Amino acid sequence: MAAIARFLIALLLAAAWSPGVRATGQAGRDLDPDGWGIVTSQPITVAGHEFCRYFIAEWLDKPGSDRYTIALRERPSARWGTQVWVEFGPRRVLQVQLPPARTELKALGENAAGSAWEAILDIERQRLFIRDADLAPDEF
């Protein structure tokens, strides 16, 4: 059984990395083969799941988004409502309070993707311009 699984994985990797095969995103643009970005999400509630779906759809349409690894986390609370935040490395780049009405989630998810994208670009600009021997590149 393990041999079959290893064979299938090797076959998939060979097909993905063979010359002439190009991956395309939702908008039909070519994805960067060197980009290893991953989007993880841990929605708990229905509202959190919808928010993550709209966020990720908008995020994948951003040029170069496939270079960045981000995590979407959710914390539901009966007292404070549902909070969702976006993490990029060790940083929390965006935190959003989800509204009780689910009709607003699409616009909120799309706007949050744009805000998170701008925050990550700002972090990348800081990494380019700030050099400190005492800090590692991911500690800015």
* Token digits of residue 15: 């097909």
* CATH number for position 129: 3.30.160
Whether 6 is covered by a domain: the verdict is no
Owning domain of residue 85? 32-139
| pLDDT for position 20 | 35
| pLDDT for position 107 | 92
pLDDT means per 10 residues in the chain (140 residues)? Answer: 57 42 40 65 90 92 88 88 90 90 89 93 84 67
Distance CA 90, CA 140 (A): 10
Distance CA 126, CA 113 (A): 20
Whether 65 is covered by a domain: the verdict is yes
Which helix H or strand E contains 127, and what residues bound it?
helix 105-129
Distance CA 140, CA 98 (A): 29
Residue type present at position 133: A
Contact 84, 96 (CB under 8 A): yes
Whether 133 is covered by a domain: the verdict is yes
* Token digits of residue 33: 């083969």
Domain count of the fold of the chain: 1
| pLDDT for position 41 | 87
Distance CA 23, CA 42 (A): 26
| pLDDT for position 57 | 92
Q: Which of 42, 35, 44, 38 minimizes the C-alpha distance to 70? A: 38
Whether 76 is covered by a domain: the verdict is yes
Whether 23 is covered by a domain: the verdict is no
